[in-house]
Homo-oligomer: A and B are copies of this chain.
Amino acid sequence: MALGDTTRLSLLSRLCEGRPLSISQLTEGTRLTRQGVTKHLAILERAHIVAKRRVGRESQYSVRPESLSEASDYLSRASRQWDQAIARLERLLEE
């Protein structure tokens, strides 16, 4: 679950401000290493939540707005799984 991590959610929120940011820029403001941030960005990219674009020597990341609805779907599916666990439990309770 790419969005189950608060670090990634906060990186995503930085990107949601609009302008693309490089890895180093995204690293500022976190207590992580550049490599740590890189890994999280790779995960977000694999999930098609974020896009990478090489500009000169920088890797600029930007959010893919069209993907946010998918992300939202993903999260609500996750939420629904818990709802189902509750439902199962409540069925058990009735028996």
Contacts and interface: CB of A to CB of B under 8 A. Distances in A.
A65 B93 CA distance: 8
A87 to B, nearest CB: 9
A78 B82 contact: yes
- What's the number of copies of this chain in the assembled complex? 2
User: Which size bracket describes the interface of A in this complex?
Assistant: 20 to 34
A86 interface: yes
A72 interface: yes
Interface stretch (A9-17, A21-29, A37-45, A52-60): A9-17
Contacts of A88: 9, 13
Contacts of A75: 82, 85-86, 89
Nearest to A73: B86
Contact of A79 (B4, B68, B83, B90): B83
B76 A86 contact: yes
